[in-house]
Structures are given as structure tokens and as C-alpha cells.
Structure 1
Amino acid sequence: MNKKPLILVTNDDGITAPGMRTLIEVMKTIGEVVVVAPDSPQSAMGHAITINSTLHVEKVQIDTDDLEYSCSGTPADCVKLAVKQILGRRPDICVSGINHGSNSSINVIYSGTMSAALEAGIEGIPAIGFSLCDYNWNADFEACKPYVKTIVENVLQHGLPEGVVLNVNIPKLPQKEIKGIKVCRQAKANWEEEFDKRKNPQGRDYYWLTGKFVNLDQGEDTDEWALENGYVSVVPVQFDLTAHHYIQNLNSWNLND
């Protein structure tokens, strides 16, 4: 009899988030699930870890009879604690999400959802970050289920190269309108940001970050194109940030003169 895969589930919206509850539901059809997730929302935390304060982990029961673990730290902290302290054996895969909102293109570097997946990748664990392009807390995650299951089962079957994790984004569409899955590259895009200066009731200045997302990439092989055209986007990402193509050029500088 084949042993069920051990699946670590985490997120950045907090352990009670509807997106995470959907992900847990799907993962239970595939394997043995252990949940270690933040006790409160940790969106846009990037790859932050806790080093100047203590971490607390509490066993909780949310909507099943299974024990889960609520952590006071960041998404990356959750993965570290799961691997080093909580799990009795190494997970076969780590899935993060389903995030409430897009983590396509440049958003991947700010994402707490993807930081958890990347942290698992650093530990040598195949990992996937899932996001639905709907920021509503009460978003309908039903359309995500078959795509999440298909992608997870394929990763369990085929594995992932060392240092590579998957960034999966799902368009905000009814299931019948989603055209399928496209493997993509990350679009070149950014945020044109502004700070709205305001005053609090005591007369002290404060700032509120605002801005708009700008896609600078006209390619039809990008995650942004896929999402705009009704596809689930799958982008393989890596945590090696070396610009390998520029090493030779940099070596031509007179750095040792």
C-alpha cells in the first residue's frame, strides 16, 4: 500500500482565511495534511523572519477535527518551525495559499504567500504558492479546486528541480470560463506608487501608500497575459537572484586596480 504524501499547508492571510480553508479541503483528498499558518494576516511581508522577538505556536481546531498549528510569526517563520520543530517527518510538498489577491509579475517579491513557498524550496521541499485574483475576503474559491489539485498531483508525480518553486495565479472567473493552464514567464510590470499625506486627529502627519499597477510587457507568454485571457498562470520561480548573464561583463571592470 502506498503511503500518503505528507502535505504542509501554510499561507499569509491567516489560519482562518477562506482561501486556506479551501486549500486544506483539496489537499485532504490527496494526502496527509499538517497546517502551520500565521495567527493573523501577514500579507506583503515578503521573506521577513522573526529575529528580535519570540515566536509562539498554538494547537488549534478551526473547522475540522484535525489539529492545526497557529503561529505568531511570518509565513517564512511558519515553514521554518514546521520543518525544524513540528513535523515528525519531512513533508513531501508544501502548498501556500490560496491567497486572497494576485501574486503575479512583480507582486511575487512582496508576497508572503510566495515567501512561504520559497522558504520550503530553500529547505529542498517541492513547493507551490497559489493565489486567486480576487481580494474579497468572501471570494468564491470553488473554481480554484480542480486546478489546485491537478498542479499539486503533477508536482508530486514529477517533482521540481532544486531551487525552483511554482507561482500559480488563478483568474477571477467562473470555472466554466477558465480556459486552462498556461506555463508562463513573469511579466515585466511595476507599481506606480504615491503616498497620500494626511493628518491624524492630533495634527500629526501620516502617509497612506496608494498607486496603480502598470503592465509594461506586451508579450503573450507572460502571467499577466494568461490571466487577462482567462488562463491559470504557472510561473517557475527561483530564489537564486544572481544575474548570471552579467557576471562576465562585471569581471571586465577594473575592480582590483
Structure 2
Amino acid sequence: MKKPLILVTNDDGITAPGLRALISVMKQLGEVVVVAPDSPQSGMGHAITIDNTLHSKKVTVDKESGAPLEYSCSGTPADCVKLALRELLERRPDICVSGINHGSNSSINVIYSGTMSAAIEAGIEGVPAIGFSLCDYSWDADFQPGLAAVKKITEEALEFGIPKGTVLNVNIPKTDEKGPKGIKVCRQARANWKEQFDKRTSPNGKEYYWLTGEFELLDDGTDTDEWALSNNYVSVVPTQFDMTAHHVLPQLNKWNLNEH
């Protein structure tokens, strides 16, 4: 039997340490092909390139024996997955993993995440997919304590599958060398960003704005990703890309929409 084919991507760029850490785990589980942005694409969400050309080329980032086949792409994380599935891979991947992101993608952050959008793009195409993030924004973050959880979750997904229409949003707490306490399946916490724009003036006198803000947790539940992370657990949130608010349909159907 062929080894599982694992598509690896991210939003921090093809040289990011988090991507290198993810590759090191996936090489233990199957055949790895990497298609990742040639530069950081954090916060791009599900943006795709439609008004410009896309470029891709084979690259060698790791020179050791057994290094995976890698492609850099000039586009967004979602572009990387589209290009991989349509043009670059010789066969359909058994799973797509995205990350490991430098920084949290828990709660409302999933909306803005390029890491998760890459996973969602794979899910839309029917490929089981997982987005991995570490709650540490440092480029020099220590990914090692969370890698056992990354491996375990991926192994389980390969064995049991991920329900269609769903991808997994996995966040790993920043922890010491002992690692997380365990893994919890959670719901997405209700939260928001209290945003502000810092108005500044450039040396040539032009005004510009710098986005700042504070994360507001609006949820005190003990079954959420934010609770799990704050208590040193890896959070696993099943995330769907059907954005229909199904519970609202009966209410809207009571409106007199067809009366003139």
C-alpha cells in the first residue's frame, strides 16, 4: 500500500519555523509535499488571486536526506491549496495540514486566519484537513512541546477520517518542555476584538493608521477552546464552512417577503 500523501501548507511563508516543525512530524506519517506562500500571508483569510498572475517553483529549503518535495507560491494560502490540487500534485492527497501558525487562531480569530483558510479550501474540495496553531507569535517559538499532539491528532484523522463539510481547528497552548496536559474537543468561544486605529503622521507629513486592539472573551464556558488553552490543553474545534444559520431559517420564513 502507498503511504498517505500529505499536503502541507501555511500562511507564515515557506521558510517559517512552524512549517518546518509540521513537516518534521508529517514525514513520520507519510509522503509529504509542501506548497506554501513565498512570503508571509498572515491575516489574509480566504483571499484568492484573481487579478494577477500566480507563480510557483520548486525550492530546496531543507537539504538533508529525505527532504520533501516543496513548491513556493506567489499567492495566498488558499491559492496554494488550489494550485496544489489542480496542478502540482500527481495524486489526490489523503490529508492537508496547515501551519503550524505562529500565533493563536482560536475563537473569532479563525475568521481572519490564512492558516485555517488553507485548510478550509482543502475541505471544500473534499480533502480531510487540519489547521494547527501555536499560541506564541514569536518567530523563535518552541514548537517541540506540542508536536506529540500534532502527530496524534493527524494519526487519528488519517485512521477515522474527518466528516465531510468539516475541518479541524487545532490550537496549542504556549507551554514548557513538559507539554500540554492533554487534548480537548471544544466549541469555539464567543469573543471579539475591541479595535482601535492609532493615527500617526509619517516623516513627510502624511497621515496613516495602525490597527491595534484588545481581545475580549465574552464566554465563561468550560467547554470552549479559550478555556482549554488557558488551562494548558490543546483545543480541537470542528469547524464548518457552510455558513448558513440554519436555526434562523424558520424565523425568516415567517417574514412577508413576497408581499408587495
Instruction: Give your verdict on TM over 0.5.
Output: yes
Amino acid at match of 1:141: F
Amino acid at match of 2:52: S
- 2:180 pairs with 1:181: no
Ranges in structure 2 where 5+ consecutive residues have no aligned partner: none
Map 1:6-25 → 2, pairs under 5 A: 6-25=5-24
**Residue 178 of structure 2: SS of its match in structure 1?**
helix
CA displacement at 1:144 relative to structure 2: 1.6
Stretch moving more, 59-68 or 182-191: 59-68
Amino acid at match of 1:143: P
Stretch moving more, 171-180 or 231-240: 171-180
**Residue 134 of structure 1: SS of its match in structure 2?**
coil
Distance 2:68 2:154 in 1: 21
Q: Any idea what the Cα deviations from partners look like across 1:150-177, whole Å, max 9, x if unmatched?
A: 0000000000111100000000002425
For residue 200 of structure 1, the aligned residue among 190, 199, 202 is 202
- 2:219 pairs with 1:217: yes
- 2:131 pairs with 1:129: yes
Query: What's the TM-score, normalizing by structure 1?
Result: 0.98
**Residue 235 of structure 1: SS of its match in structure 2?**
strand
Query: What's the TM-score, normalizing by structure 2?
Result: 0.97
- 2:41 pairs with 1:29: no
For residue 252 of structure 1, the aligned residue among 243, 251, 254 is 254
Number of matched pairs: 256
1:240 aligned partner:
242
Distance 2:140 2:223 in 1: 31
2:140 aligned partner:
138
Alpha-carbon RMSD across the aligned residues, in angstroms, is 0.7
1:108 aligned partner:
110
**Residue 88 of structure 1: SS of its match in structure 2?**
coil
1:42 aligned partner:
41
1:69 aligned partner:
71
Distance 1:162 1:248 in 2: 25
For residue 83 of structure 1, the aligned residue among 67, 82, 85 is 85
Q: Any idea what the Cα deviations from partners look like across 1:27-73, whole Å, max 9, x if unmatched?
A: 00000000000000000000000000000001100013433100000
Map 1:145-156 → 2, pairs under 5 A: 145-156=147-158
Amino acid at match of 1:100: H
Ranges in structure 1 where 5+ consecutive residues have no aligned partner: none
Amino acid at match of 1:39: D
Percent identical pairs in the alignment equals 73
